[in-house]
Structures are given as C-alpha cells and as structure tokens.
C-alpha cells in the first residue's frame, strides 16, 4: 500500500508465527503487502496491532490501549465530569448525551466520554487508524473493568461527511469534531503520532463541509475541538467557546440537553 499523495509505503508484519494467519487477514482487508521494502509497518504481535516507522532513528510504535497507560490514568484520575470536554458536550447531573465522534482518530476522547457513561458512535475514515482502533476496542472488551466502557463505543469506518448525510436511524444528540490540524501540542506522544500518521492522513481540508453536515444531523449541539489560537472552522459561528491552556472547544448549540 502506497499513499500516492505522500508516497509512503507500508507493509504488514506478523511479529510471531502464530499471528501469520491473522496478519494475512488484515493484509487482505487493508490491501497491504506482507513483504518487501517499506517506510512503515503495521505489526501484529502479543500486544495487538501497532504502527511503526521503519528505520534506525524512527520513534517507537503507536497502538491503541484503553486498558493500561494513559487511558487508564485518565479514567481513574482525569477529573470525571468536571473535565472541559465533558462540559463541552453537555455532560452534567442526570444527562449523558448520545454522541457521534465523527473524527475518532485513536479514540482517546471518545473513550473518556464513554467512561463517563455516554453512548458513543465513532467514525474514522483512514483505514490504518480505524484498524488500530478496532483492535484496541477488541482487546478492551476482554478486560473486566474496561469492557463495559468499550461496549458503549461503536466504530464505523468511512467518510464522515457521507455517513452523516446518509444517516439512518436515531440521530445523535451531540456531534464531536476534532479535525486534523497542525497541532501546537508539544508533547512527545503527540509529536510521535503526528509523524507517524501525517503521511497517511494529512490535514482535514474538508472541515467546513464536515461542520455543515454535523450541524444538519445533530439534534442538540455540535462541538469542535481546536488548538487554542487557531481560527474557527469556516461557516457557522460558534455560540460560545470553552478555552483551555492549549486547546479550546467551539460549541454550536441547537437545543437544550435535558435529563431522562
């Protein structure tokens, strides 16, 4: 698989022989080759799927882990419903909105909201990122503590604009957007992930259409996460803004959220 825009080649690799059959299945699903020279590798091993840049000075692999590490720490010590993202989407006493995360990425924000009790639908359009997310959700479902949270997360793969325009069934109350953008976050983790994914993902140049489709579908509000000093997405203006140290949430209210 080569991304023609960025000329980045990738292969899939089983780290142990027992994963060869499953790696072949992923290769078929994603259209990846299993041998030859490549810039990146999607590897399958004891820890599940991971994406790694090949080369001597490349950063370490990236994988989705909802059970341990940063996700576990934030689940236990992240501030609960007092977090700014929770306030932005309307989580409050007796209110846990149905949320569509239309730019799911590695699922961190969706997992936070699911851990607070929100039913989440996730859309990820980049097949490699969606594969990592699917694998992480499958492993989370095997953990007794995290399984109930993972059960509140439903993953769809495809173009979010098209999926929202053709939406079937009950509409989400809240739609959450975090378009790819030249992020100002200086953390080592984000730098590593941006280096790995930008060759395949690029920037979201269709963010205005994404916002327009979200506003047409959401019943109660749309929330857009932005770097703190970045301009708002072209189109409708946010009703209000919640601002943090490095990022902010532009909130587009449509109707008041009320408890069951």
125 is in an annotated binding site: yes
Enumerate the β-bridge partners of residue 123: 156
Q: How far apart are CA 63 and CA 210, in angstroms?
A: 26
Neighbours of 134 (CB within 10 A): 20
109 is in an annotated binding site: yes
108 is in an annotated binding site: yes
Q: How far apart are CA 88 and CA 176, in angstroms?
A: 9
Q: How far apart are CA 242 and CA 117, in angstroms?
A: 22
Largest distance between two CA atoms of the chain: 56
195 is in an annotated binding site: no
DSSP codes of every residue in the chain: -EETTTTEEEEEEESSGGGHHHHHHHHHHHT-BSSS--SEEEEEETTEEEEEE-STT----B---SSSHHHHHHHHHS-GGGSHHHHHHT-BTTB---EEESS-TTSHHHHHHHHTT--EEEEE-SHHHHHHHHHHHHHHTTSTTTHHHHTTEEEEES-HHHHHHT--SSPPSEEEE----------HHHHHHHHHHHHHH---TTHHHHHHHHHHH-SSEEEEEEETTSPPPSSSPPSEEEE-SSEEEEEEE-S-----
5 is in an annotated binding site: no
Residues annotated within a binding site for S-adenosyl-L-methionine: 108-109, 124-125, 178
Residue set of the binding site: 108-109, 124-125, 178
């Amino acid at each position: 698989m080569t991304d023609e825009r960025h000329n980045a080649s990738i292969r899939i690799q089983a780290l142990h022989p027992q994963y060869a059959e499953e790696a072949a299945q992923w290769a078929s699903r994603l259209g990846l080759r299993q041998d030859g020279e490549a810039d990146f590798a999607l590897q399958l091993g004891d820890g599940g799927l991971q994406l790694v840049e090949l080369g001597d000075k490349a950063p370490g692999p990236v994988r989705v882990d909802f059970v341990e590490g940063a996700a576990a720490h934030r689940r236990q010590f992240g501030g609960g419903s007092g977090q700014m993202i929770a306030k932005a989407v309307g989580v409050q006493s007796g209110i846990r909105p149905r949320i569509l995360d239309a730019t799911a990425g590695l699922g961190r924000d969706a997992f936070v909201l699911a851990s607070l009790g929100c039913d989440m639908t996730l859309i990820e359009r980049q097949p490699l990122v969606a594969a990592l997310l699917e694998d992480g959700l499958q492993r989370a479902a095997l953990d007794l503590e995290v399984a109930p949270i993972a059960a509140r997360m439903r993953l769809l793969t495809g173009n979010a604009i098209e999926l929202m325009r053709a939406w079937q069934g009950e509409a989400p109350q809240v739609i959450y957007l975090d378009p790819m953008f030249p992020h100002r976050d200086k953390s080592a983790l984000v730098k590593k992930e941006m280096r790995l994914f930008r060759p395949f993902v690029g920037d979201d140049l269709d963010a205005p259409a994404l916002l327009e489709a979200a506003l047409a579908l959401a019943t109660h509000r749309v929330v857009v996460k932005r770097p703190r000093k970045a301009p708002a997405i072209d189109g409708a203006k946010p009703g209000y803004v919640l601002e943090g140290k490095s990022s902010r949430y532009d909130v587009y209210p449509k109707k008041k959220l009320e408890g069951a």
